[in-house]
Amino acid sequence: MAQCNKCNVCRSPGTLSESAAVYRIPSNVRRFRDEVFTVWRCSGCGSLHCAEDADLPKYYADYPLKQQKLTFSENIGYGNRLKLLTRLGLQPASSILDYGCGAGLFVEFLKKRGYSNVSGYDPFVPAFAGERVLDSRYDAVVSYDVIEHHDEPREFMAAVARLVKPGGLLAIGTPNADRIPITRPRDPNLHQPYHRHILSQRALLDLGAEQGLQVAGVHLRSFYDSLVPTVNSRFMWRYIDRSGGFLDAAVEPPRTGLILRSPDLLFFAFFGYFVPLGDNMIVTFRKPAE
């Protein structure tokens, strides 16, 4: 994709040249700390865009989050994801595809809880890069923290919608541009250059409507948010900031001493759930029955 000078997700696209919010944002992955990117907000829909093109395979080669494990915190967060889906009718016998599954942790989580008909797809992870799973349709397609990494969100939405059976569910989890201030360059949701287009809630809903999908549920907080100490997005983002601002800290051994010496970290560890950032959203669509 060439440089993004015009919004590619809304009906009245704004442009980089007319945007009133344009900032230079450094990468928050330690290996690329010296690289800086232009992020601008669309005047039409409020979505955020990275102006520069990026050689994504290069950046994903040693992506820190590939080192994630199915830890205590992940189990709680994934349990919250699953609750949202079961409330909308997901059953253990349902066929499920995790599109953009990364290391496959959510696939593993679901299988351990009795959801045996689960597949994963991720073109950047060899174990899940096989495209045969894209030849089927599913009772539920889930895609968390993926659409913002795609150069063409409209094409992405069309591709995942095609994989859903009539009457099935499509869950899209992504940062919410409405609640992300680009005046704060270290905000982890900006995550350059990986986050190509960060959608506003309105933009995401419109993309779903273009595919004929109906809104089944909107959840406007991180699925990691829980009452369990340290398992909430407020604490997680503040901890990353206190650790130097690099996303790598999320998968490195925890710095217990730093937490114990930081009154704000201790506060958010126990009470972060009650002051949610609202900077993430999960919108679940349903494809109409034929």
What confidence tens digit (pLDDT) does each residue in 77-88 have? 999 999 999 999
The residues with which 96 forms a beta bridge, in sequence order, are 118, 140
Q: What is the distance between the alpha carbons of residues 24 and 183, in angstroms, rounded to a whole number?
A: 9
CA-to-CA dists, residue 107 to 7, 100, 142, angstroms: 33, 11, 10
Task: Please answer whether residues 106 and 144 qualify as being in contact, where contact means their C-beta atoms are separated by less than 8 angstroms.
Answer: yes
Q: What is the pLDDT of residues 140-166, one digit of tens each?
A: 999 999 999 999 999 999 999 999 999
User: pLDDT at position 246, please?
Assistant: 95
Instruction: With a cut of 80, say whether residue 2 has pLDDT above it.
Output: no
pTM: 0.94
User: pLDDT at position 56, please?
Assistant: 85
* Residue whose token pair is 């009470």: 271
Average pLDDT score over residue span 60-75: 88
Average pLDDT score over residue span 69-76: 92
- If one looks up domain 64-225+273-286 in CATH, what number appears? 3.40.50.150
Residues 6+ apart with CB under 8 A from 284: 84, 85, 88, 169, 170, 171, 172, 215, 216, 217, 218, 219
Instruction: With a cut of 60, say whether residue 1 has pLDDT above it.
Output: no
Give the residue among 124, 122, 151 at the shortest CA–CA distance from 53: 151
Task: Please answer whether residues 198 and 146 qualify as being in contact, where contact means their C-beta atoms are separated by less than 8 angstroms.
Answer: no
All structural domains of the chain with their residue ranges:
64-225+273-286
Task: Please answer whether residues 170 and 94 qualify as being in contact, where contact means their C-beta atoms are separated by less than 8 angstroms.
Answer: no
